[in-house]
Chain A
Amino acid sequence: MPAVRVREIVAAVPDPEVPVLTIDDLGILRDVTVDPAGGVHVTITPTYSGCPAMDAIRADVTSALNHAGYDDVGVELVLSPAWTTDWMSREGRRKLLDYGIAPPAPRATSGSGPAIALALTLRCPQCGSPDTQELSRFGSTACKSLWVCRDCREPFDHFKAH
């Protein structure tokens, strides 16, 4: 099987906590290489240091490749360069929105040090209203915060810019 097909198999593995996204959409899939003997080496990077989904992702990648007939699979976790939501694909952002999660805004990363967090308003993923409010800076997973729409009154998750 050509290497590009092997990459497709790995790229299609869903994120266990936000299953509407694949690990490729999320931007955590760094590299897939196939050696001449058929061994596959996959490199992924964590979103947050303590992301509890990394073990599950590692197991899911291995199992997807095993199903495709690859028994010799190595999944390596690399920290550098550090993941940022800017690596999320355009397709990933659209899928998040369709799923009801407000996607992350691009980070303004000019100069050194952490970017200044601008309190931009978010559009409600249900009704599109810009009249929304943050309820909690921490949500159901490390990567999300909880918001509410003041027009349709529905709460929604926001994938934080990181």
Chain B
Amino acid sequence: MTAADSRGSSSASTGEVAAYVLRLADDALILAQRMGEWITAAPQLEEDVALANIGLDLLGQARSLLTYAGVAEGRDRDEDDLAYLRDERDFTNLTLCETDNGDFALTMARMLVFSAYQCELYARLVASTDETLAAIAAKAVKEVDYHRDHATQWVLRLGDGTAESHRRMQAGLETIWPYVEELFESDELFRSVAERGVGVDPAELRGPVLAYVDRVLRQATLSRPETSVNHKGGRVGIHSESMGYLLAEMQHMARSHPGASW
């Protein structure tokens, strides 16, 4: 009975780690898929390569995180099972990561906010009591720092550019802003992993992330949008209409040809 109890409590905590890691993995995976959509469609060849490389970094992070989530949950699922064989309601990514790419300015607005978020998150996760998470974060933090720098340069150039580039950069911000508060929304799982030193409560990232974004926007002559709309639900598997289309494209090969390899 005592043994069963202690097993029970340890599986509850590894279950929490698995669920937490899966959230981070899904954010990276779904945005990597969106980045991939830019290939052959970016405004210049160099940017085609840049967006593909950023997508590849995110995909690499997602692979490490998904693999670890699979190990932590202990149900014998690997990275491919988790990426390709889960249904929409089982994905726990932020709604921001699944939003349609829109034009280049919108993609840069999203990258600015999300990479600023990942920078602050991974910088803290480096000190996680969970060694695997700390190791993944130590690799990833340098990558997302470069993404943030890339987005920053474009937001400055477009915001403080021509009247048209300024208009479109501001419009991109307006479109993504209703999805921003969800990044910082805490819940029981986040608070529990943060308390144990394993994870980070996203509520504490709000200050530093928005401070960074505000600095860039000010310098780019843009303004932070004001909105009372606050989309959420991603963390509990309730997604926007875009998500179904994204998953159909991402998963159809693995589902049409189960076990295929090359």
Contacts and interface: CB of A to CB of B under 8 A. Distances in A.
Interface of A: 46, 48-52, 78-83, 113-114, 117, 135-140, 142, 146, 162
A51 to B, nearest CB: 7
Contacts of B139: 46, 48-49, 79, 82-83
B46 A80 contact: no
Interface stretch (B95-103, B141-149, B233-241): B141-149
Interface string B31-58: 0000000000000001001101110111
A31 to B, nearest CB: 16
A50 B52 CA distance: 11
A12 to B, nearest CB: 26
A139 B50 CA distance: 8
* Majority secondary structure, B binding face: helix
B131 interface: yes
A139 B53 CA distance: 9
Contacts of A50: 56-61, 63
* Majority secondary structure, A binding face: loop
Contacts of A81: 138
Contacts of A142: 53, 56-57
16 contacts: A46-B139, A49-B136, A49-B143, A50-B60, A51-B60, A79-B136, A80-B131, A82-B142, A113-B123, A114-B141, A114-B142, A136-B46, A137-B50, A138-B53, A138-B54, A140-B49
B136 A48 contact: no
Given A114-B145, A136-B46, A138-B49, A52 B138 contact: no
A92 B131 CA distance: 31
Contacts of B150: 137-138
A138 B57 CA distance: 12
Interface in B37-89: 46, 49-50, 52-54, 56-61, 63-64
Given A82-B135, A139-B49, A142-B57, 19 more contacts: A48-B60, A49-B64, A49-B139, A49-B143, A50-B57, A50-B58, A50-B61, A79-B138, A81-B138, A114-B141, A117-B149, A135-B46, A136-B46, A137-B146, A138-B52, A138-B54, A140-B49, A142-B53, A162-B142
A78 to B, nearest CB: 8
A80 B57 CA distance: 17
